Structure 1
Amino acid sequence: MNDFSVSGFDLSVEPSATRNLTDGQRDRLAVLLDEYLVGLERGTPPNVADLVADDPELAEPLTNYVHGLEDLHQVAAGFAPRSGDQDAGRASETGETSHTVLGDFELIEEVGRGGMGVVYRAQQRSLDRTVAIKLLPFAAVLDSRQITRFRNEAQAAAQLQHPNIVPVYTVGVDRGVHYYAMQFIEGQSFAESIASHVSNQSLPEIETCVRQGIAVAGALHAAHETGVVHRDIKPSNLLLGNDGQVWVTDFGLARCQTDVTMTRTGDIVGTMKYMSPEQARGESAIVDGRTDVYSLGVTLYEMLCLRPAFDGGETPVVLRQIEELSPTPLRSNRPDVPNSLETVIAKAMSKNRDSRYDTALEFAEDLQRVLDGTPTIARNPTFLDRAAQWAVARKRAVAAGVAFGLVLLIGLAVSIALIAAAKQESDRNAILAKRSSQLARTTVDELGAKMAELLADIPEAESVRRQLLQETLAYYQSFADQVDDDPQLIKDLAVTYGKIGSLQNEIGSSEQAIEALSESRILFTRLVEEHPGDWDLVHQLATSENNLALALDRAGRYKAAEEHYQSAIEIGELLIQSDRENAEWRTGLSLAFGNYALLLGKTRRSEESERMLEQSLLIAAIDEDKNSPDNEDKLQRQLASTYQNLSGLLAEHSPKKSIEYAREALRYQMDALARNENDSQLASQVGLTLNSLGAAQAALGDSEGAIFSYRQAADIQRQLYDRQPYAMTHQRDLAVTENNLGLALAAEGQYEPARHAFDQALQFQQTLATEFADDAEIQSTLGGIYNNLGFVQEKLSDLPEALRSYRMAVQYQQAAHKAADEVPRYREFLSKHFFNCARLLREDGQTDESIKFTLQRRDLWLSDPSRLSGVADEFLTTATVISLNKSSPGKITYSRDDCVRLARETITKAIGAGFDPPDEFFDRPEYQDLRPNTSLQGI
């Protein structure tokens, strides 16, 4: 009988000692626990009071946990009782063995350990029986997900009644140590059996392995029938009793089908070399019983030939092998294995889960057919099956190979067409020549432009896609040179220029993008002028205006971008007047309004920006009665994007309103994501909206809420990055989110976690900055992250590193300002970085270099009187430092008088630029003779 009646025990409840700790305090507590454990293992545990000297608020939780750590350490070290333990004293008086006691159990010896705990043979005193006790690793107390998994293991195993599943007796917690008791199996694990055969250089009997596999499959089917998926089937979790009975144990990573919240999409749980491909990709949402079928197939493979199907240890290398490689055929390692058994195991191990057995029972039945010598369900794969598997496993290489082949095909098609056209022209057969030309152009379109669109979903194929579009463009141009009055050909050419330009803009090649998009716009303008009634052409012209504006916007050429946004809006409004219900036209106009609004926000025209975004909402408003599901989906996405932009725009000035907009955006995005679960673009948008929500929460003073939102965003974006590491968008989004998280943590005084967040942001942003050295926005963002890192390094008293970070901030922000001097933000950021460098150098007594940074800051603001007056104050502050002899020893270039002179020069420039100081401003001795002459003279 299973017993879960331990009083007040709930693994989901966090110990009271840590319940009210902040994330930063938890991180710090984990570090202190680690320091204590290292000392404990060395035999010289540190004093708790010394450990918490800088963190007195952690004294109580650390003390509680240290007692638990001591218990676990003593258990592992030989079960010596803790000094002062009354039970221990009684034991020594009576002569009893000194075993560690947990609740009703005496732990006798360790029999195994793994990622989810340590297993001991123990004696249950009340029932006088031998049991196996599993202890949760103590550090997991700080990880609620690990506690949840431990609880899930107990609950999952306890509800399963099957002769091949190890039953759970009871669950408990004692002195902070979580445990559960289960039946003790006298015998060995399959892993130990495999090791024994390897050591003896003997192969196990095939029939025995198959019968054991049938028993395990039967147990798994029983678990799956109750909604429990094991997710960690491997040799060490399968036991062989001395009586020959097979047992399945360790449901630590099991998931009940009804509990989908325990493991988030993107979590990679399990043991690497036994994982199914969907587990290796972190796609927990689609993990089901077929995952256990796969892992059992891999286990049987290893049992039969004594070598793993995928050998790479527990390194990430094995994950790529699982994704891309097929294991060596079983019979190549062991020729005496029947062909039917090889086929059955290969089916269980199929990379495509739909090609595996639907249930573990079907797997067991096919294994039994192998023993009976009857035909199996499994069949040897055909040539096409193998080709499909090979292609799926090598998506990137196939994409490149296909594209290369297509380029050759396009070239061949064009060559044939042109040769045919030339021959027919010589024969004066114009009709046939025209048909040949049209056929070649159709081939170009089918094999070039359309295939390029298919490659758009493969981030690794960006370079191939770009090459394919360039080749397509070249062939279109060769046609255009021969027939320059064909409107369809001109349209194809314009579309291809547009695709190339948009791709160049995506990958950060702004100037090339502007050039291609300008060509596209010119061609569409020509076509609209020649065919004024063609609304499809008008719509494409509006789209080209918007795309060109986006590229100009990205390059920091705001004036030109604004003109083209206005043109896109003007054309879009004409379209809407002709057909209000056209969802594609409405989406395009709403998008143009939204993009223009973002530009206005960048140039400090917030009220105009908000009006534009509200207009964008009105245009995209959904009328469910008049829209098809496809059109409604487009409008929903556009609405969500506009709500997200509104949230970002208002985050600082109207945070409550911003939060409302962010939640509205999330509502639409999550609805769309439910219909398109694998849409990475939608998931990316969710991450951006969570970022906007975090910014609004931070502005409202809800730092904990902001930190939570940023961490949610980072979780989503890291999953996307792990799946598509070559996609620039995911790297950029992760850098921004980690930077924002660092800001929120710093605002809470959690400087060490903030530094970690900024380091993470740098990891992604530096890669982008190296790859896209001419992209001003990327360089500027990197400068900002360095500046923020410098701030927390200052707070952590790491001043040399802080100064280094500020210098790096200046370097990257200068590059951005030089590339796009129209963008006011870059100048403001650069000014801030100059100021921070100058201040820190001045405080360190390096006044000469400090003045050089202040002079550079002055050069940024020669027409801004208010900023110039601030710079003058900096010079006077430096003068004071020099006069107090706080400069670094040695010769200095700038004296106190030099600083005063620079301050006076700067104030003079400020007055010339329109600075109107109050009278008392000139009471300062340095400025007295600069006071303007206000005496009146009579006539």
Structure 2
Amino acid sequence: MSQSFPKSDADLQRLRISHESTDSTHRPDSLSNAASSSAAADDLDLDDLAEQFAEEIRHGGKPSIEAYAKRHAEFADEIRDLFPTILTMEKLNRRKQKETLAAKAKAELDIDQLGDYRVINEIARGGMGIVYEAEQVSLGRRVAVKVLPKQLLSSEKDIQRFQREALTAAKLHHTNIVPVFGTGEQDGHHYIVMQYIMGVGLDEILSELRSNVLREPSISIRSDSSGSARSLHIKHNAAALLHSEIRRDSLQRSTTQSLSASMTASIAGSNGRSDGSTKTANQDNAPEVSSRTSSSSNRPVTINANLNAEFWRNVAKIGLQAASALHYAHSHHTLHRDIKPGNLLLDDEGVVWVADFGLAKAVEQDNVTWTGDIVGTIGYMAPERFTGQTDERSDIYGLGLTLYELVTFQRAFEGRDRVSVMQKVTSHQLAAPRKRNPSIPKDLETIILKATAADPNDRYQTAEELADDLDAFLEDRPIKARRMPLTEQLVRWCRKNKAVAGLTAAVAALLIAISVSTSVGYMQQVEQRRQADEMRRQSDQFVDEAVNVLERIYGQFSPNATAMMSASSIEPDEDSGMFDSHDSMPISKDVAFVLENLLSFYDDLSQRSSDATSVLVKSVMANRRVGDIHYRLGDLSSARSAYERAIERFGSLPDETKLNSTMNVELARVYNGLGTVVRWNGERGKAIEAHETALQHLESALKPDQSVRYEVAHTHFLLYHALHNPFQRRRGPAERDEAEARERHLQLAIQQLEQLLTSEPASAESQFLLARCLAERGQQLRWREWRQPDMNDFEKNAVDRLTHLIERFPHMPDYPFELANVYLQVFHSISRYGSPQRSEGNKCVRCQQDLLETALDVTKNLDRRHPNIPRFMHQQVDIQRFLGRVYAASGDWPKAETAYLAALDQARNIIDEFGDEGGFQSSRLHDIQLDRAQTLVALEDHNTAISILQSSIEFFEGRRESFSQNRFIRRWVEGRLKDAYPLLSTSLRATGDENGADEVLCKARELR
């Protein structure tokens, strides 16, 4: 199969060399037959295109009208006029099918009468039961009846609990709580009777809002017998929320009987989509899974509507009414346990109704486990509920997430399955609302953030407090909730990072002491000069101690300490117990944020110290370390800013300080960091310049000690990489000189490190860098020994050194990462960079499989233990995707499918966590999908293959147009399309679509 999407300079070079010789011997024979088919497709007329468009919809696809118009320009106007109607008709047809299924389900349940209640029709259904519209015959009033699944109440104890909770809920009398009238049982079916509310759930309104505001397709959350009227009701309430003033409270509202009879009623608690099919409790509680990678990202959404002040006020009014209902229920010792948009109804008077009070508790099982049913909707459950704890603040959390969704138009937590959503909830990976939608008022965001705090102690302690702040927001009064200041963030962060907590506290105490001892008022009270001098001396001592504490904090989190230095390089404090563990300190964006803010302490200290130069020197070092951390986290922009800030601070130093050997080494590290960052940004010339500047500073060092010699070797290694030009095709004298310079830099690095290790053989830092240099030297030999399956001596040496380092320091993540890279390097060589070869028979494929499985084994759980380091995740994607190719080459299609799914899951995680600037990660995602499609064809899962291929082809056609001026990327994209079209033709033909198969083959020929 064709090569993977390039992520690095090395990848680009590999692609350039291997593109012309891509081997396809591992493909199924059917693909070759399809590719060589000479059948010509007839020109499609408008009717054919319309039928093709409709068929895509019927098979679950989401075809783009605009894409059809562009591909068939001769019918563009007709397509834009006709296809929206086809889309609507197909949606109506699908809805009709669902309604038919619902009617069939009702007939199978055979419920026409439940005691005194005559069933009229079904309103909604889900794992928590089916909701019917019914008439209470004796009183002649309309009610809603929820019939619970038999399996939820399987014992006498379950039934007693259900009746007890229903009785408790029936005692709640509040203007924003759906009244419960009673319970009953018939033929083993237990039911609960509630007031019939003419309103729609906020989940349905949110779906409509997304359609209006984000221009997303509107998805029906529930189906019922009068869908068109309900749809109008949803649109009406969504429009009112956006543009009109809804009620602030429920006083003086009209009775439900006065509302339009044409509006279809809804009762909350359907807990899931009513698609006319019965769902289990587990299905019901499953998270909403989205195929849109952007929906769960932290990037801002594109707002296509004018969100005026009234909209934000309406959101606050909804929250105020719901909070009022919760406070009332909590004061009566009743928890809801399942607050979410689907359990909050909004009627056309603007009144919010909270439904299903106590029902979650009523159907709770005795033995709730992680593998069994967790009552409540996963994406709206508070983190503490996963440890079996819940109280009023858990309900507040659910309401906070509902408000979060209303203001951002996105779910707070999404994932591909229950486990992934659970992980996000428990780790509280919640983006600030304004990060997703910058137009949200700050006070409203502050309220939501406080309501959704991970720690229950940080939330509103009562629903009344939440209601008071929402009321203050509506009246434009100051709210009581406040944004967490930096000092408090530091304190909370220290709770989670206890090894550094004492240091941060020491910094704060020292700053207070410095502030007091150097204040003007204090000094004016000192009558004698001797006392003043003593205070200055004490102040300088305080500054020295504060700087020392700060330096230890930064040193503990520096990537050098984390990944490359021996544990013994950080000495423990015997008195304080700090640094009592030799494990590396985990770094994350939160850590980077705190350390970035601590940098301001240096400015304060330099102003208070009589030796400002010394403090400034430490500031240079601290900025460099912050840059290292940002780079390790994949934040190249912030890393660059930190490095440039360090260079600027260095420029403020006196000349005599700049000549100091220690400062020259430090500045060389800064320039090396900057060079690495700009190289990854594609600025090769600036990278070379930065590393050469680093080398100049090292040559200026007065004392060539161990640290200088190590950094010299490191700089030569970085220059070796910076001089590599993956797009270079010309082989003139200049290019040969550059290649010789690369070779020379690598050789100098190896020589320098071998000399260092002669005097310091236990230096983990030098051993690690030498192993990386030897691996590169081994790769150079592979250019001459093409497809040699055995490791050469350089590679074996690198593997031995890395293996020894892993044994010495098992918690250092970079060691297994680089060891896996060596195995990948050998794999790439013998497989023509990712395309498994059969030229040497099954033995060659088996060798490739062994290499990849070994790489997977040595990095087991590395990405999970360090989820904030993107390159660890990228490596796992590569290993799994190449394993998929190897398994496919050997005909083990089930294993290939498993590997591809693992690669895709990790690739989506990367996009969710780190974004997709430039669309490169999406390109890789679709690239893997094309590999997977081959496996699906072999497994004869043609419908799934068609869906994947059509989506990926549309994506790559768009990329081909976007990169029409970039010859290299355009050729890569066209190569992938040449793979995709024959696959699609094969699957279309297998499903009987001969015309479609011929059409895509014609497109494939156009690429030749």
User: TM-score when scaled to structure 1?
Assistant: 0.51
The CA deviation at 1:717 is: 1.5
* One-letter code aligned to 1:350: A
Equivalent position of 1:784 in the other structure: 975
The CA deviation at 1:504 is: 1.3
Deviations 1:509-561 (A, max 9, x none): 2333233234434544665xx655x3333332332232222233453566654
Q: What does residue range 606-625 of structure 1 map to in structure 2 within 5 Å?
A: 606-607=787-788, 610-611=791-792, 612-622=794-804
The CA deviation at 1:487 is: 2.4
> Does residue 636 of structure 1 match 2:645?
no
Equivalent position of 2:946 in the other structure: 752
* One-letter code aligned to 1:449: R
Percent identity for Structure 1 against Structure 2: 14
The CA deviation at 1:407 is: 12
Q: What does residue range 548-559 of structure 1 map to in structure 2 within 5 Å?
A: 548-553=719-724, 555=726
The CA deviation at 1:620 is: 1.0
Q: What does residue range 256-295 of structure 1 map to in structure 2 within 5 Å?
A: 258-259=369-370, 293-295=396-398
Q: What does residue range 34-183 of structure 1 map to in structure 2 within 5 Å?
A: 35=58, 72-74=98-100, 79=103, 100-103=106-109, 105=111, 108-113=119-124, 119-121=130-132, 132=146, 161=162, 162-163=165-166, 183=192
1:348–1:363 Cα contact (<8 Å) kept: no
Q: What does residue range 408-419 of structure 1 map to in structure 2 within 5 Å?
A: none
Q: What does residue range 262-661 of structure 1 map to in structure 2 within 5 Å?
A: 293-297=396-400, 310=407, 312=409, 321=433, 346=447, 349-354=450-455, 363=462, 380-382=480-482, 384-385=484-485, 440-446=616-622, 448-456=623-631, 462-470=636-644, 472-473=646-647, 476=650, 485-521=659-695, 523-524=697-698, 531=703, 534-553=705-724, 555=726, 560-598=741-779, 605-607=786-788, 610-611=791-792, 612-622=794-804, 627-628=808-809, 630-631=811-812, 633-649=813-829, 652-653=836-837, 654-661=844-851
Looking at structure 1, the residues matched to 795 and 189 of structure 2 have their Cα atoms a distance apart, in angstroms, of 57
Looking at structure 2, the residues matched to 309 and 535 of structure 1 have their Cα atoms a distance apart, in angstroms, of 59
> Does residue 686 of structure 1 match 2:866?
no
Pairwise CA RMSD: 6.7
Change (3 A) 1:641 1:408: same
* One-letter code aligned to 1:711: L
Deviations 1:65-85 (A, max 9, x none): xx9999853365xx5x7xxxx
The CA deviation at 1:712 is: 2.0
1:789–1:802 Cα contact (<8 Å) kept: no
| 2:788 partner SS | helix
Q: How many residues align?
A: 634
Looking at structure 1, the residues matched to 389 and 434 of structure 2 have their Cα atoms a distance apart, in angstroms, of 16
The CA deviation at 1:802 is: 6.6
Equivalent position of 1:737 in the other structure: 928
Equivalent position of 2:208 in the other structure: none
Q: What does residue range 803-822 of structure 1 map to in structure 2 within 5 Å?
A: none
Looking at structure 1, the residues matched to 389 and 53 of structure 2 have their Cα atoms a distance apart, in angstroms, of 32
> Does residue 665 of structure 1 match 2:855?
yes
2:679–2:687 Cα contact (<8 Å) kept: yes
The CA deviation at 1:506 is: 1.5
1:743–1:754 Cα contact (<8 Å) kept: no
Q: What does residue range 758-773 of structure 1 map to in structure 2 within 5 Å?
A: 758-759=952-953, 762=956
* One-letter code aligned to 2:628: E
2:201–2:343 Cα contact (<8 Å) kept: no
> For structure 1, which runs of at least 5 residues remain unmatched after alignment?
1-28, 39-66, 82-98, 124-128, 136-149, 173-178, 303-307, 334-341, 371-378, 421-431, 808-835, 838-939
Looking at structure 1, the residues matched to 663 and 857 of structure 2 have their Cα atoms a distance apart, in angstroms, of 43
The CA deviation at 1:638 is: 3.0
Change (3 A) 1:262 1:513: farther
* One-letter code aligned to 2:433: Q
Change (3 A) 1:348 1:778: closer
Change (3 A) 1:673 1:783: same
Q: What does residue range 716-727 of structure 1 map to in structure 2 within 5 Å?
A: 716-726=906-916
| 2:946 partner SS | helix
The CA deviation at 1:498 is: 0.9
Equivalent position of 2:256 in the other structure: none
| 1:132 partner SS | strand
| 2:132 partner SS | strand
Change (3 A) 1:693 1:200: closer
* One-letter code aligned to 1:456: Y
Deviations 1:364-385 (A, max 9, x none): 7989999xxxxxxxx9345654
Change (3 A) 1:474 1:384: closer
1:188 pairs with 197, 212, 219, which one?
A: 197
| 1:741 partner SS | helix
Looking at structure 2, the residues matched to 616 and 553 of structure 1 have their Cα atoms a distance apart, in angstroms, of 21
Deviations 1:302-347 (A, max 9, x none): 9xxxxx96274889999873756799899x99xxxxxxxx99xx48
1:491–1:524 Cα contact (<8 Å) kept: yes
| 1:606 partner SS | coil
Looking at structure 2, the residues matched to 726 and 401 of structure 1 have their Cα atoms a distance apart, in angstroms, of 25
User: TM-score when scaled to structure 2?
Assistant: 0.48
Change (3 A) 1:187 1:666: farther
Looking at structure 2, the residues matched to 794 and 245 of structure 1 have their Cα atoms a distance apart, in angstroms, of 51
Looking at structure 2, the residues matched to 705 and 535 of structure 1 have their Cα atoms a distance apart, in angstroms, of 50
The CA deviation at 1:688 is: 2.3
1:569–1:593 Cα contact (<8 Å) kept: yes
Looking at structure 2, the residues matched to 154 and 561 of structure 1 have their Cα atoms a distance apart, in angstroms, of 74
The CA deviation at 1:661 is: 3.8
Looking at structure 2, the residues matched to 764 and 603 of structure 1 have their Cα atoms a distance apart, in angstroms, of 38
Equivalent position of 1:915 in the other structure: none
* One-letter code aligned to 1:548: L
* One-letter code aligned to 1:121: Y
Query: Highest Rg: 1 or 2?
Result: 1
Looking at structure 2, the residues matched to 36 and 324 of structure 1 have their Cα atoms a distance apart, in angstroms, of 33
Looking at structure 2, the residues matched to 508 and 293 of structure 1 have their Cα atoms a distance apart, in angstroms, of 48
Change (3 A) 1:639 1:498: same
Change (3 A) 1:208 1:402: closer
Looking at structure 2, the residues matched to 349 and 733 of structure 1 have their Cα atoms a distance apart, in angstroms, of 38
Change (3 A) 1:262 1:700: farther
Query: Which of structures 1 and 2 has the larger relative contact order (alpha carbons within 8 angstroms, sep 6+)?
Result: 2
Looking at structure 1, the residues matched to 957 and 371 of structure 2 have their Cα atoms a distance apart, in angstroms, of 32
Equivalent position of 1:204 in the other structure: 250
1:407–1:468 Cα contact (<8 Å) kept: no
The CA deviation at 1:690 is: 1.2
Deviations 1:661-705 (A, max 9, x none): 434433443443454344444333322221222122122222342
Equivalent position of 1:707 in the other structure: 897
The CA deviation at 1:235 is: 0.5
| 2:407 partner SS | coil
> Does residue 213 of structure 1 match 2:326?
yes
1:502–1:513 Cα contact (<8 Å) kept: yes
The CA deviation at 1:298 is: 5.9
Change (3 A) 1:684 1:288: farther
The CA deviation at 1:721 is: 0.9
* One-letter code aligned to 2:714: T
Looking at structure 2, the residues matched to 502 and 251 of structure 1 have their Cα atoms a distance apart, in angstroms, of 56
* One-letter code aligned to 1:737: I
1:235 pairs with 344, 357, 373, which one?
A: 344
Change (3 A) 1:463 1:673: closer
| 1:112 partner SS | strand
